[in-house]
Amino acid sequence: MTQSLTIRRPDDLHLHFRDGATMRAVVPWSARQFARAIVMPNLAPPVTTSALAAAYCERIRAAVPAGVTFAPLMTAYLTDSTDADDLVAGFADGVLTAAKLYPAGATTNSASGVTDIASIEPVLERMAAIGMPLCVHGEVTSADIDIFDREAVFIDRILAPLVERLPELKVIFEHVTTSQAVDFVKSAGANVAATVTPQHLHINRNAMLVGGIRPHMYCLPVAKRETHRLALRQAATSGSAKFFLGTDSAPHHRNAKESDCGCAGIFNAPYALESYLQVFEDEGALDRFEGFASEHGARFYGLALNAGSVTLEKAPVAVPAEVDGGEAAIVPFHAGETLSWRLVPSPADA
Ligand code: NCD
Ligand code: ZN
């Protein structure tokens, strides 16, 4: 008999869709797996207001295939001049689910991000007061800090003091990549949690640099040493409610990745559940997959758990070398590999 696993329909708590033709090409991949996703606001120009978020939400909804239920949950991109009233109103109306802190210059389309966290302190105080979650890209950007140390230094310089100053603020430390981040999240209060991507559970920095430079393994925060990958696998599969699924799927066209200044971001959306489930199987934690994928994140955000379910069965899936990305092809995570779990298509996909 084929081994299978049925879980409550999951959510992706950190996702990049882009806009236009690229967005329309990638949305169906996420919608076939997830009921909801926290959508990142780093478009060019960024989604900085509730009105921009509402309009972007409509464009995403229009790209969801007929018969599929999928809800984009929107975030606002914080800048030095964010209007706290607009944020609060957007959260109260349900237009915004969270706000995103990008330190200026940390990653793709973050040039308009926050230059000094002190400049948004009043905004963060309002968010803490109304229970609006803050999603954090946790890397410092100082030229003198080595790129492999930027997450750990961010904890000491920015995140730990922030959590101490505003102990009520709900903080999601996004796409954690280090044992320091795991330790910080574990030791912080219940209002601090983390998302973990599939790539940081599967690869260490060798995947990017050994035998030639592999642009499709490059994302930010950059993959670290093996000890960190092992700490992440332990945290994600431990059953702790502080760690949950957020793919950070970040599509860039093949030509933008395979370039003399290749973009950061791994497009893992096509086979995200299959990729994560492989890790849980290898760690002997299949019984903890539902919590990680479908419960911890929703509970942290204060969202109702999804109705319905998805089923994965033990069967090989060949990941294509590239997929349609709208204007140009995109190389997905695990391109050319065969994964060992397969999402059973729902009737709407048939
Ligand atoms: C993301 C992107 O391309 O938008 N890139 C990435 O490497 N993860 C931005 C981000 O989440 O850092
Ligand atoms: Zn991201």
16 CB near ligand 1 (under 6 Å): yes
Mean pLDDT value of segment 166-194: 98
Mean pLDDT value of segment 251-257: 98
CA distances 112 to 28, 39, 88, 183, 291, Å, are 29, 18, 21, 30, 35
Mark whether 248 is an active-site residue.
yes
Mean pLDDT value of segment 322-346: 97
Q: Angle 313-292-92 (CA atoms, 0-180°, nearest 5)?
A: 125
Residue 167 corresponds to which tokens in the numbers above?
């102990």
22 CB near ligand 1 (under 6 Å): no
| 68 CA distance to ligand 2 middle (Å) | 24
Look at ligand 1, atom 6, and give the residue with the nearest C-alpha: 265
220 CB near ligand 1 (under 6 Å): yes
Q: What are the residues whose beta carbon lies below 5 Å from ligand 2 (ion)?
A: 248
The string of pLDDT tens digits covering residues 110-167 is 999 999 999 999 999 999 999 999 999 999 999 999 999 999 999 999 999 999 999 9
Name the residue of 18, 220, 331 whose CB sits within 8 Å of the most ligand 1 atoms, as the mutation to test its pocket: 220
Atom of ligand 1 nearest to the CA of 264: 7
| 249 CA distance to ligand 2 middle (Å) | 7
| 57 CA distance to ligand 2 middle (Å) | 17
| 267 CA distance to ligand 1 middle (Å) | 10
| 129 CA distance to ligand 1 middle (Å) | 29
Q: Is the pLDDT of residue 212 over 70?
A: yes
Atom of ligand 1 nearest to the CA of 265: 7
Residue 131: left (phi > 0), alpha (psi -120 to 50), or beta? Answer: left
> Which of 11, 116, 248, 287 is an active site residue?
248
Q: Is the pLDDT of residue 348 over 60?
A: no
Q: Is the pLDDT of residue 269 over 60?
A: yes
Amino acid identity for residue 318 in this structure: A
Nearest ligand for residue 18 CA? 1
Look at ligand 1, atom 5, and give the residue with the nearest C-alpha: 265
In whole numbers, what is the pLDDT of the chain averaged over residues?
97
What is the total residue count of the chain? 350
Instruction: State the pLDDT at residue 347.
Output: 62
Mean pLDDT value of segment 287-309: 98
pLDDT tier, 346 (very low <50, low <70, confident <90, very high otherwise) = confident
DSSP per-residue codes, 270-310: GGHHHHHHHHHHHTT-GGGHHIIIIIHHHHHHTPPPPSSEE
Cα 111 to Cα 122: distance, rounded to the nearest angstrom = 21
100 CB near ligand 1 (under 6 Å): no
Atom of ligand 1 nearest to the CA of 220: 7
Percent of the chain with pLDDT over 90: 97
Give rounded-to-5 percent helix, strand, coil for the chain.
40, 20, 45
128 CB near ligand 1 (under 6 Å): no
Atom of ligand 1 nearest to the CA of 14: 11
Q: Give the right CATH number for 9-308 from 3.20.20.140, 2.60.120.380, 2.40.50.140, 3.40.1160.10.
A: 3.20.20.140
Nearest ligand for residue 266 CA? 1
Q: Is the pLDDT of residue 108 over 90?
A: no
| 6 CA distance to ligand 1 middle (Å) | 30
Look at ligand 1, atom 11, and give the residue with the nearest C-alpha: 248
